Structure formats: C-alpha cells, structure tokens
Structure 1
C-alpha cells in the first residue's frame, strides 16, 4: 500500500531510452557544462526527465524533441553530437548567443528524414544564409532575429518538405527570383499540424507576412524587416 501511495504522489517516467542515446545525452551535457543548461546526470540519470527533453510516448524509448532555448549557448560545436539522435523531430535553439551554425550540424543532421522543426531565431548568427542540403523532411525553419546578410538564392532549394520559413529581422540585401511567387496567409495551419502530431515544439509561432514559394511542398515564408526588400500583400 505504501508503494502504491508513493507512486501516486510521485509520478515517475520509466525510461527505456536506447543506450546509444543515453550516451549521447551524457556527452552533450558534458560539452555544455558551464552554460545555463540545468542538466546534471549525477542528480537525474534519466535524460527523458531533463529540462527541454521530450521522449517518445508511452515508453520513452527515444528522444523526439530538444528545446535548448535561452540557456546562453555561444558555441554550436555540440550540435554534431545532437545529430547522432536519429529519432529527433524538433530542435529549438532560439534565444541564445550563437554566432554560427557548425559544419558538424549540417553534415550530421542533413539526411535525418524525421527532423521536422528547426528554430535558430533570436541568436547572433552572422554571414550569408547557409545552404540546407539533404534536410528532406524539414517542415519548419526559423532563422529570424539574427544578423544574416547577403542574398537569398538557392540555399533553400533542397528543402522539399518545407511549409513555413521565417527569415525576418535580418540584414539580407537581395533575393534571387528563382522559386518565389506571391504573398499568402499566416503559418497557423502548420502550427496546428505540429501540435496534433505530437511534437513538443516550444517556439512555433504564428508569423506575420509570409511568401509562397515554388519549392516542392513550400507554402509560407516571411522576409519582413530585412534590408533591400520592397513587398506588399496580395
């Protein structure tokens, strides 16, 4: 009776997390030691109970979402390790101090068919828009509120499943005409889709003005508050 009462008062998450993912999470926690990330394997050995980590229901056998928003991260070198989590569907790195996205991320996470959501908004990313190659399952990409510069041409052309893209509040100076068509509505349809399909997406937001693209599967795109763009609604 006491055991039953204890379990009632203290709900537990019984983890059957694959040992390889457990090892990866411990490695990530060690790499991010000294940041504001509150992961401590000595206090809580179950990564499925760590802040910002969501595992697949009902048995927590794999990690499906990481939300590392607002932890003061300044280096993206650890992302190559994150890309070893092949079950990952959502990665939120918003509200940090990242100045670049490591090659290890593009080399490792490119080709992960299940990765649907990437949020790098509100960081300090500089330089040209990177090329997202082989992210064939990606549906939502947010790079808003950074310091990205240069033109927008074919860097996103391989995002064949993309439904919603936010590049607003950057310093882009021009856009290639290839792939761009007309203005459309907000991204609330994708937001609902993500919620109803069980993803834990911490920073999905309804975007403002959006642009429809001809890339296969692409519906909506925001470029508001960038340099060198003059646009209007349909």
Structure 2
C-alpha cells in the first residue's frame, strides 16, 4: 500500500521508475509479495529489480528463486543474485534484457572498475550452477528444517532459511549469541542500525546439511534465555 501511494503521488513526475525489492528479506526472513509488486510494475509502467540473494537455490523447481517458484520470472526486468550463500562461491550477477545489459556494462561504474573473478572461483560457480536443478531433495529438507525450527521457537510459520529470534536489547542479543557459541552454534547478533532500535536479534541461517536433532540444544538454550529475560 505504501508503494502504491508513492507511485500515485510521484510517478507522473518522472520518465522512468524502478521498483526494487528483495525476494526473501535478509533480516526478518520473510518473503516479498511478488504478485502485487508485478501488478504495480505493469500499472505504472515501471521497471522491477528483484534481489534473489537469499532465495536462489532454495525456491523454485530448478532452484532459481522465489520468482521461479511463483511463476514470475518473465515479469522481473532485472534479477539480481549472488554466487555466495547457497552456491558456496562468491561474486554476483544480474539477469536482464540485452538493452539493459549493454547499459550496465557501459554505465555501471563499480562494474567497469571491478576485476574479473579468479578462474578457480568461476569453475566452482559453474559446477554449482550445474548441480542446482538436481538439488530438489535438499531444498525440500531445508525448507522443512525452517518450518520445524520456527514451530519449536513459537515463531510465525515460514520456510525460508533465515530464522530471526528477536530479543530486544543489544546486550541481550550479544549475551545469547555468546551462550549459543559456547554450545557450538554461530548465530550472530544483529544490532542497530542494521535493525531498528529495540529489535536486536539473532539471525539463524539454516543449511540442508543440518538435522532436526542438531537443533535441539539450540532450541532449548533460546527458550531458556527468553524465559529468564521475559
């Protein structure tokens, strides 16, 4: 609704408009509503840039992200992704039309002055992309782990690999992160200004290599901490 109000108020002033969103939001682990975003893009003749960094490899029949999962790939003008995270390499990419590709090559200063990725990294990335469509079982397992952990922690249902545990103060977030690290879990504390004041949290990132049993001590410690500080 806020985006639509902005477009109603300001779109007529500009020749072009660009709608930008993540598909899976990095701090809350929730999903963007792609259908209304695509509808607004069409209605207001805007470009749509979608960052699939946290959805690539996790969603879609071939692991291409939330836009593939929801049948919206053809409606995204610039699809941004990373070779890190699910692909286990590094670097990034954008999928777009030939016209926009030529524009970015000639006008995107950070790209122009960036050196090429090392050949070894490119080989790893190429292999990961080849494997991606075959990892359906791993995707299903990962999303199941997310549903399991969220249910155990009393969080809203979802199936993204990012599970936030909001504790409130920075001190509490740091304390809980240290306690979990002592148990062998790396769950970094996310504090302002990355998140709003009063919403410091632990950001738990799941992988398909985990099992439900591995998460039991983590769940118990988080529950214990929240009970002590409620």
For this structure pair, what is the TM-score category when the shorter chain's length is used for normalisation? under 0.3
Task: Give the structure-1-normalised TM-score.
Answer: 0.26
Give the number of the structure with larger relative contact order, counting CA–CA contacts within 8 Å between residues 6 or more apart: 2
